Amino acid sequence: MQQLLEKLAADGKLTADSLLEFWVEVPGVKRTRGTFRGGFLMPDSFVYLSDYFLPDTTTLTPTAAYGEADMPLQQAWGDLLDEFYYQVEIFTSPVSVPKGVTLELWAGSRHRPEGEWIYAVDRKIELR
């Protein structure tokens, strides 16, 4: 996730509406992916990146909400990872062993309401 967000920021594409979106594939658990009315696939979940990092910068800079923290960048990362972990845990709770669970991550901005990515960086990883 850190590589995705650093790339997004370095490319100057971290905007106020940038999202971290993800799908979770769990072996043996059938779950159809939904679609928005515009016809594009809904992610399992998403997070607004501007809740944690300032938009329109080329480096990941924590929002003003973290100004009082001892280590604001680490606190922003910690909060984002806590939220991400919580959301992924919702989808992976039916399995006792994470082997085979796959996460597809995207960070970027979508064109609304059509839903096409304006800009995105992505990664697919398997949990172990």
Amino acid at 46: F
What is the CB neighbour count within 10 angstroms for residue 93? 9
pLDDT along the chain (128 residues), means of 10: 92 93 84 71 87 95 90 96 92 80 89 78 85
Which tokens is 94 given? 């039916």
State how far the Cα of 3 lies from the Cα of 106, in Å rounded to an integer. Answer: 11
For the chain, how many residues are written?
Answer: 128
Burial label for 4, CB within 10 Å (0-12, 13-18, 19+), is middle
pTM: 0.85
Residue 10 lies in domain = 2-126
Structural element, H or E, at residue 3: helix 2-10
pLDDT, position 83: 95
